[in-house]
Amino acid sequence: MSVTNLLDDWAKFRHPHPVDDKPHDPYKWAMAIDLDACSGCNACSVACYAENNIPVVGKDKFLHGQSMHWMRIERYWDEDGRDFPDQGVQFLPMMCQQCEAAPCETVCPVAATNHTSDGLNSQIYNRCIGSRYCSANCPFKVRYFNWYDYPTTDDVWPAEMTQQLNPDVSVRGKGVMEKCTFCVQRLHEAKVVAKGEGRIVREGEVQTACQQVCPTNAISFGNLMDPDAKVHQQWQAQQVELDKDKQAKDENEGGSELRGYRILEELRPYPSVMYLERVRESAI
Amino acid sequence: MMDSGFDRRDFLKVLGWGGAAVALSGCGNTSVEDGKETVVSYSEPADYVIPSIGVYYNSTCAQCDAGCSINGRVREGRVLKLEGNPNSTVNRGKMCGLGQAGVQHHYNPDRVREPLLRTGNQGQTISWEDAYKLIAEKTQGVSGDQIAFLSGGVSGHLKVLLGNYLDSLSCKNHFVYEAIAPGVARAANKKSYGVAMPRFSINKAKVVLSFGADFLGSWVSPVHFSQQYAQFRKGVDGQRGVLVQVEPKMTLTGANADRWVAIRPGTEGVLALGIINALGTATGDIAAAVKAYDRDRVSEETGVPAGQIDKIAAMLKLHSPSLVLAGSAAEGYEHGSQNAAAINLLNHVLGNVGKTVEMTEDMPFPQMSPETGNTAALTSLNNGLAASKYKVLFNFAANPVFTASGAMNFKENMAKADFKVAFAHYLDETALQADLVLPLDSPLEDWGTQVPEYLATCAQINIQQPLMEKLHANTRGMGDILLSMLKQRQPDDYNGYEDYYGYLRSAVLSVKDALGGASVDDETFWNRTLSGGIIKFEGSVNKLSANASAAGLKLPSHSEAGGDYPLRLIPGVTASMRDGRHANQPWLQESPDPLTTIVWDSWVEIHPKKAAELSIAEGDIVEVTSKTGSIKAQAYLFPGIHPEAISVPLGRGHEAMGRYAKGYGVNPFQILDAVFDKETGELAMHETRVKISKTGQRVIVVKDEGAAGGQQMGKKIAVRVSSDDVDLSEEV
Amino acid sequence: MEKDIREDIAWAKINGDVLKSLENPRKLYWVIIALALAAFGVGVACEVYQYNTGMGVANLDNPHVWGLYIATFIFWIGMSHSGTLLSAILHLMHADWRKPIYRFAEAMTTFSLMTAGLFVLVHIGRLWQFYYSLPYPNERGIWPNFQSPLLWDAMAIFTYLSSSVIFLYVGMIPDLAICRDHLHPGWRKKLYTLLSLGWEGTDRQWRNFRVTYLTVACFLIPLAVSVHSIVASDFAMSQQPGWHVTSFAPYFVAGALYSGCAAIITLFIILRYVFKFEEYMTLPILKKTVRLTFAIAMVWTYLNAIEFASVWYGHDVASKDVLIQKMVGPYAYAWWGMIFCGSIVPLVLAFKRFQTNIPVLLVISLLLNLGMWLERWMIVSPTFSHGYYPWTWDHDQWPSWVQWGMVFGSFGWFTLLFMIFCKVFPSVSMYEVKEMVYHRSLHSKKGDTAEQGAH
Amino acid sequence: MHRIFHLSVFLIGLFSAATVYAADASQSAPMTPDSQWPLVEQPIEFPHNRHAKDMQIDCMYCHTYARRSAVAGIPPLQKCIGCHQSIESVRESPRIKTLFEYWEGSEDGKIAAKTPMPWKKVHDLPDFVRFNHERHIKRFIEQQNRPTQEVCGYCHGDVAELTVARRSKALSMGWCASCHEKEHPVTAAGGTPIGDQAYWYGFYKSEADAAGGDLKAHGPNDCWQCHK
Amino acid sequence: MSQRHILALFSNFDEAEAVISELRSANIDGFNFDDLTLKSPIEHHEVEEVLGDRSARVQWFTLGGALMGGLLGFWLISGAQANFFAQMKGGKPIVPLPPNFILTYEMFILGGVYISILGFLICAGLPAKRSPLYSTTVSEDQIGILVKAEESAIAKIKSVFLSHEALEIQEEAGK
């Protein structure tokens, strides 16, 4: 009855997002990554491989830039032209930012990637036809395409290794796009439990693989709508608001003591991942 | 969730549901496919087993010796993923990438599946019975001191059994070898603190001055230190800790330092003394000893700007307690022990001993406390073999053929032993040299106990238990093997134990009271132990010796590197590759090196200035030549290294060990000169001097970093602020 | 001023000449067909390989996910516009010199659209699921995403293709009747009898024919414009630097007309030679076409210039970077090649002496097409290798032989279709040439009488 | 002439009809009439009718995992034996014989003891579809106290009339949707957001609060509910 | 009284024009001017004018088709977007107008073109059976005038044709 839908829900169907008058409720999954704690050890990335059945593509394909790591650790040097990077380097864990207004969603011809009710950017493998438009339009370039049929490629999952595959996550065949899902399979499991008990998921009941493994607790993840959630408190402390493209921090240049920022915010994708600036001692 | 531990084996025997074949077919067909697939139900499931719902078991990570407790997710009888065990004081529910890859160690397609006996160049399958018989024969004729047993670090009941077995052979030659181990540090610590491995409380320190201790990457207990580091950054009472890293080649820790100080290789001790001097708080013989090290001389010798030295001293003076760490970078020299001593002295002078350098509780069961490995052991074994002292050689959990310095010709010497037994997971370089290869269970299939060398808080014994049934019918646990061999020799002592599991159980229960189980009955205690995965108990604590003297402390004045071999070779120890025993785990091969983002290959780190001098560009295949030998690898221009040094990462360059390891990269162990630390006899890893030359070939470096080469191009991506501009106390 | 066409050609001769082109092909014709088939074969082989192995063999990567396929797709779409230009726009402007050449131009429209369609298919990662993108009620209860410019593309192209096929056909009915009447019995005759729908040129038929032709023409023009501006929006609607450009729509349309005209010149020359159409495809007409092309070339150049200028003076650093990269980065040679072929070469056309010099024109028209193809490539690739996110900037993505193979194959496919068309259907509109001749003769008669009056 | 005119009218009619039809999404989720899918060959012809109808055994007595996990589970061999070793009456019937062969092992030793039966999957969704039994049972049986057989029957058909189970529902996406888009009563007392539809929640909240949280809403519709 | 067809062929339009106007003015009984059909190789205004206002109505089909296409297009698309599986995309409303207008526009054109072609076939009476008298020269260079008239009138008409030097005259066989 879509036409009838249309007629009686017109206003609702015409409602843009994100906006403050229709807040996410009861769930909005979000993340905060403290770059000052992150040591760039790569544990998150490996954990992601383990949890999400990510294929190991091997040297040649990696050379061709066809790697599949959903979570990549970026390493940036200082650009001050000194002989030695004597303030260390900058690490940045980068994965799908689960944008509220995701550029990838609108362009998919078959609606294989959408914004879910709990504020995630869903990627539906079996719907994907591989036009790769989403990746083309992703400012962060965090979408990874199955250039080959990895399940049937030698040495990707040889005999015994198939047994390690996580049954909760589809193994992707050739020609589909994939990306970080905030471990949706874990979220879903937690929700089922909570629903059964007629409540919503509590803080600490669900962790993403990267968050769970992170040795320095740099990654915190949770329900932004839940006042008890660490991530909620962090976002609040940093005065970063989901549906703003200019935060308190940007308003007063330099003056603020806040560290929270979102990458490429000026493009208004409203990312769900807040980063906390890396701090460096000035006295030494 | 936790398993009651009851009927574990029976449980593990049940069949899987669906199986991975299903998972593999991925998102292919879109039709509902009836009647094609078989569903295999459990025949007799334990009632806590529900299809599609994960069961979690606690065990211990065996990827390195840090002794992190893990929590394995098992579904339908298959272990899927490892998480950290929140109750562990070592890793508090966290893990590292290396640990995550543990499942790939278990599921690795290249594992040895049958006992193999060498006939000519072939390995020919034989039964375990024959294998045991053979060993019995070979060990029969020979006297105890003609037998040598080489192993990696061992602890817990395995160590006990091993000891007993060697005794039964009346063999004293147990060589415990770790290719990369803080051997020098242990000795130095023993001298200056009275204990080999004190407890370093990074989280209590306000300033950490680390001389090349890569405690975030690969040093001693990285996961534990990483967590302390996180607290240290958040700061005690809101004052953020400051990390200063002094080293010639930037490590992961150096990359995270507030100030990374590039120092001329080998002069760390000098700098330490220089700082003591600059502090000016030292008294007595220390003051005398450091008098000569005024800032200008130190600066001149170490290449560290004088201003920098003052700043560091000032910082240390201002913030107390601080912590000074001596890492491998400072110790890999002929005078390594001296360096370490000098650096430890700094801790004394700063009064950190007792505050951030603390005494650990000692293990009430010495027979179980870890036998830590070092490189000196290999040297003596090698000499023995060279003199063909040994007829029978056992090898377990070590790969000396790969990790021994090329100058030792270990491979040739090893051949001099008549009968060589290797207990191995893979046909690695050493196993290939053996006459008899006995396949081991993976740590996820095997029982065991482990005692970490570095004890985070109290004394503890880690339990290792099978997370699933054996993948391959014909592999055995090391414990079971030792037990059966002991049964041959002392039947009446050991026939009582059905298997290693039985042995373990009774052994643990026999000391139950000491382990804090006095109140409960055996069954409960055992189940509690298994589900907990850790036994913690109070050990006795005695004070650190405050032996702070500069007696006998003398550092060689820096000798200009020059002549034929102008550069120093720094063998890079990376968090994921370490000494290369896990190089065959594809996740590790493909996870980019944090600093260079290179995958699947080795590289030569060289400072851009030096490179420009030698007109070397990224991707040039360069030949690195030492007195001992030479290797060819791709050059990577790396600002984080001292211009007088180059660095090649260890761990890659296998010639065996299966599809994921063989033929990727080069092995710098081969070109290390046989130079040793004067006091401990440890191999001085950083003493090798090399020359470097272009071969003319060039390749594209396979790395994650894009063409922009780690520049942000003016975009606001990874942002950094100076500590003045933030207020951490406000934060969550 | 020489005439576009001889006014005293007997109408019977017109029929004769054109019908001749339908019969017993020359050897050269077969040669061309063979070459085309071979080229197409290469393309097919590549696609089969890619289909079985995965898109990876095209040597695309993350994030450089699009390559020559999309570029060539735009190229072919662009090519199609010339047909509409000649048959519809010039028709409304009563430029009757178009009459001898518009038929094949229209055919070109149709076939280049068909070729473009192929690239949509080979570009898709899961070709076997292509039907997901079609809006039809299905047992899944879901629909494609109507917000996606790619879907707009699909619908626009479908509309365009079907409309121009119809247009081509309707315009051809009277000629089909001619063929029906004047060809010896055989399968052709049957075919024409069927297709000509019993056209007899009665006043009623002609009257409605005129109106229909006019209205459809009126629809085709905005359609053609919309099609290429939608193709432009594939890029302009995205957020990427170097794509998110306001002037893309007109820029693309201009580029389309440009490449179209260039292609017309090429085919004009080839047909003229292969089918001996010297009488109808006369040099004066060629000259007019060339001048038209020159004009469009200048428009295109101008649009190019303002795009660069607006980026250059704008504050969008990212897109400026991309522009600079195009000029000096790994793609520089292609980019400068495009500037040369697209903006410098056409200047030659400004010289009278070249405007009718067949060999020169052949070369130039090919160069122009090359330039236009490079333009499309330069729109697609640099943005990928130099997007917003520096970490993923990749080393130059040189397309693998698979991509090149398919690009090559597409030309074979196009030629094949086109050549077959020319043999089966009259590639010169007979009845319209007649009209042209008739009206011109009338005109000149009036001229003569006027002169006599003067004496 | 007239012929053609009629034709054209007809065509236009058809075109518009098709469009309307298409525009109406509920049409596009066809409720395929229950039909018998081909019979699946099983190791023994298990008489569901005997157990479910004659004996009135609750489905979840055997398919015991259904209420606790995503999969309903084939009953473990143990379970069958548990009852049947004490039912002498049918002990010698061929099917039960085979059953015991799997438990005790066959004489010819072809079948080892305690070998699970190689049942064939009957309702086997594609591998990228994840149907959660637990949720549906909680919703309909526990929250709304509908009879078990009816609820299971929504997807599995009237098993009580069958011997070996046989598929009788379409199990296509549209078919699932045809039920999900129905307005089911939502007991918001349980705090369940309206059909797990956070985006709509903002709109429905007022109504929900007005209705004391007791109102109707359709089931979850976001793709990640079933595809992951 | 039975009717018969007669076809005359002329070499140029002036003649044809003359014939038509003559036939029109000389109202011969048994001959209705509307039964006269002109057949020409090319379309020709002047002659058609002489035939008087025989108008074309294709444009009405076009209008109808275009409107229908547009409306149905918009309806289809918005309806489909608002179906049960309505999913948020990129922060845009679920029924976003700009894209829908673009597609509506395409559908508008599609409907317009298709239906006007339909209209053309209807109005031009195509596909048509062959008329009783036809000469292939018409599709070459001659103008044909086909007349249907009573026996009685045939002779008169013929004379008119002849008076204007018809190249050829075909007659239906009499009954």
Dump pLDDT digits (tens) for A24-62.
777 889 999 999 999 999 999 999 999 999 999 999 999
| The token pair that represents C190 in the structure block | 């049957």
Confidence of residue D28 (pLDDT cuts 50, 70, 90): very low
pLDDT tens digit sequence for B53-76 = 888 999 999 999 899 999 999 988
- Percent of chain B exceeding pLDDT 70 equals 94
Model confidence at D4, pLDDT cuts 50, 70, 90, reads low
Q: Where in chain B is the domain with CATH 3.40.228.10?
A: 183-358
For domain C11-393+401-439, the CATH architecture is: Up-down Bundle (1.20)
Q: Work out the minimum CA distance from D148 to partner chain A, whole angstroms.
A: 17
Going by pLDDT thresholds of 50, 70 and 90, the confidence category of residue B35 is low
Look at C185 and B663; give whichever has higher pLDDT.
B663
Q: If pLDDT is split at 50, 70 and 90, which confidence band does D5 have? A: low
Subunits close to E (at least 3 CB pairs below 8 A): A, C, D
Domain that holds residue A108: 27-276
Mutation site for D-interface testing, chosen from E67, E84, E126 by largest number of D Cβ within 10 Å: E84
**Residue B112 class from Cβ within 10 Å (0-12 exposed, 13-18 middle, 19+ buried)?**
buried
Q: What is the rounded CA–CA span in Å between residue B382 and residue B389?
A: 10
pLDDT of B301 over the 60 cut: yes
Size of interface B-C (CB pairs under 8 A): 27
pLDDT beneath 50: ranges in chain A = 1
Contact C149 A107 (CB under 8 A): yes
Res. B9: pLDDT tops 70: no
For chain E, give the percent of residues with pLDDT over 90: 23
How confident is the prediction for chain B on average, in pLDDT? 88
What pLDDT shows up at residue B427? 94
Residues making up chain C, counted from first to last: 455
Query: Stretch B575-583: mean pLDDT, rounded?
Result: 92
Backbone φ and ψ of A231, nearest 5°: -60, -40
Residue A12 inside a domain? The answer is no
Q: Which residues of A touch D225 (CB under 8 A)?
A: 188
- What is the phi/psi pair of residue B206, to 5°? -95, -30
Q: Where in chain B is the domain with CATH 2.40.40.20?
A: 567-698
With an 8 Å Cβ cutoff, the interface of chain A facing chain D consists of: 1-3, 12, 15, 17, 21-28, 114-120, 122, 124-127, 168-170, 181, 184-185, 188, 191-192, 195-196, 198-200
Cα of A227 to nearest chain C Cα, Å: 33
CB B91 within 8 A of CB B84: yes
Res D7: pLDDT: 65
Pick from B128-132, B312-316, B324-328, E159-163: least confident: E159-163
Q: Which of A89-103, B430-444, B511-525, C3-17 comes out lowest in average pLDDT? A: C3-17
Produce one character per residue of E123-157: b if its CB has 16 or more CB atoms within 10 Å, e if not.
Answer: bbbbebeebebbbebbbbbbbbbbbbbeeebbebb
Q: What is the pLDDT along chain C (455 residues), one digit of tens a residue?
A: 577 788 778 888 888 888 888 887 888 889 999 999 999 999 999 999 999 999 999 999 888 899 999 999 999 999 988 888 878 888 888 888 888 888 889 999 999 999 999 999 999 999 999 999 988 888 888 899 999 999 999 999 999 999 999 999 999 999 999 998 888 888 888 899 899 898 888 888 888 898 899 999 999 999 999 998 999 999 999 989 989 888 899 999 999 999 999 999 999 998 888 888 888 888 889 998 999 999 999 999 999 999 889 888 888 888 888 898 889 988 899 999 999 999 999 999 999 888 888 999 999 999 999 999 999 999 999 898 888 999 998 766 789 999 999 999 999 999 999 999 998 999 888 888 888 888 888 877 776 665 554 45
Q: How far is B708 from chain C (nearest CA, A)?
A: 6
Nearest residue, CB atoms, D22 vs list C136, C141, C142 = C136
Interchain CB contact of E63 with C (< 8 Å) = no
Residue B721 has pLDDT above 50, yes or no: yes
Cis status of the peptide bond prior to C63, with omega within 30 of 0: yes
The top-scoring range by mean pLDDT among B2-11, B15-24, B701-710 is B701-710
Mean pLDDT of all residues in B87-99: 92
Nearest Cβ partner of A1 from D24, D135, D205?
A: D24
Q: Is A266 inside a domain boundary?
A: yes
- CATH no. of B567-698: 2.40.40.20
Measured between CA atoms, how close is C317 to chain B, in angstroms?
9
HSE-CB for C76 with a 13 A CA cutoff = 27
Chain C touched by A42 (CB under 8 Å)? no
Chain D residue whose CA is closest to B49: D65
CB pairs under 8 A between B and D: 93
E36, E23 contact by CB (below 8 A): yes
pLDDT of residue B30: 44
Residue C251 Cα to chain centre, angstroms: 16
Closest chain A C-alpha to D26 CA, distance in angstroms: 5
Give the tokens for residue A199. 């409540």
Please report how many Cα atoms fall inside a 13 Å half-sphere around the Cα of residue C182, on the Cβ side: 24
- pLDDT at residue B247 above 60? yes
Residues B18 and A162: their CA atoms lie apart, in Å, by 12
* pLDDT for position D6: 66
pLDDT of residue B631: 95
Dihedrals phi, psi of B207, to nearest 5 degrees: -130, 135
In chain D, domain spans? 172-228
pLDDT score of B25: 36
Residue D97: what residue type? K
Four-way CATH pick for E3-55+131-171: 3.90.75, 1.10.3470, 1.10.357, 3.30.70: 3.30.70
Chain E CB contacts of A114 below 8 Å = 87-89
**C402: CB partners within 8 A, 6+ apart:** C46, C49, C50, C57, C58, C59
Chain D residues with CB under 8 Å of B45 CB are 76, 78
Alpha-carbon distance of B156 to B647, in angstroms, equals 36
Establish if A118 touches chain E: CB-CB under 8 angstroms. Answer: no
- Does domain B183-358 fall under CATH 3.40.190.10? My reply is no
pLDDT tens, position by position, B395-424: 999 999 999 999 999 999 999 999 999 999
pLDDT range class, residue B36, cuts 50, 70, 90: low
CATH number at residue A40: 3.30.70.20
> Is there a contact between C394 and B712 if contact means CB atoms under 8 Å apart?
no
Q: What is the pLDDT of residue C74?
A: 94
Please tell me the predicted confidence (pLDDT) of residue C439.
84
Structure confidence at residue B724 (pLDDT): 80
- Please enumerate residues of C whose Cβ is less than 8 A from a Cβ of D: 135-143
CA distance to partner chain C, nearest, from residue A217 (Å): 24
- The interaxial angle of helices C149-182 and C187-195, nearest 10 deg, is 120
Q: What does the pLDDT average to over B175-199?
A: 90
- Predicted local distance difference test score (pLDDT) of residue D212: 61
A contacts of D132 (beta carbons < 8 Å): 192
Which tens digit of pLDDT belongs to each residue from D150-192? 999 999 988 888 888 888 888 888 888 888 888 776 654 444 4
Polymer length of chain D: 228
| Residues of D engaging C, defined by a Cβ cutoff of 8 Å | 21-22, 25, 27-30, 170, 172-175, 177-178
Q: Do C143 and D172 touch (CB under 8 A)?
A: no
Radius of gyration of chain E (CA): 26
Q: What is the pLDDT of residue B726?
A: 81
Q: Is the pLDDT of residue B33 over 60?
A: no
- pLDDT band for position B16 (50/70/90)? very low
Option in A21, A117, A198 nearest D190 (CB) = A198
CB contact under 8 A, E113 and C12: no
Q: How far apart are CA E106 and CA C231, in angstroms?
A: 13
Say how far apart CA A122 and CA A182 lie, in whole Å: 10
Q: What is the pLDDT of residues E81-139, one digit of tens each?
A: 888 888 888 888 889 999 999 999 999 999 999 999 999 998 888 788 777 778 888 88
- Whether residue E75 lies within 8 A of chain D, CB to CB, comes out as yes
Does A17 contact E86 at a Cβ distance shorter than 8 Å? no
Domain covering B116-176+365-501 in this structure, CATH number: 3.40.50.740
Query: To probe the interface with B, which of C130, C391, C396 has the most B CB atoms within 10 Å?
Result: C391
CA distance C107 to C87: 11
Tell me what pLDDT residue D29 has.
40
- List the single best residue of D21, D138, D199 to mutate versus A (max A Cβ within 10 A): D199
pLDDT reading at D30 higher than 60 = no
The alpha carbon of residue B700 is apart from the nearest alpha carbon of chain C, in Å, by 10
CA distance E73 to chain A (A): 13
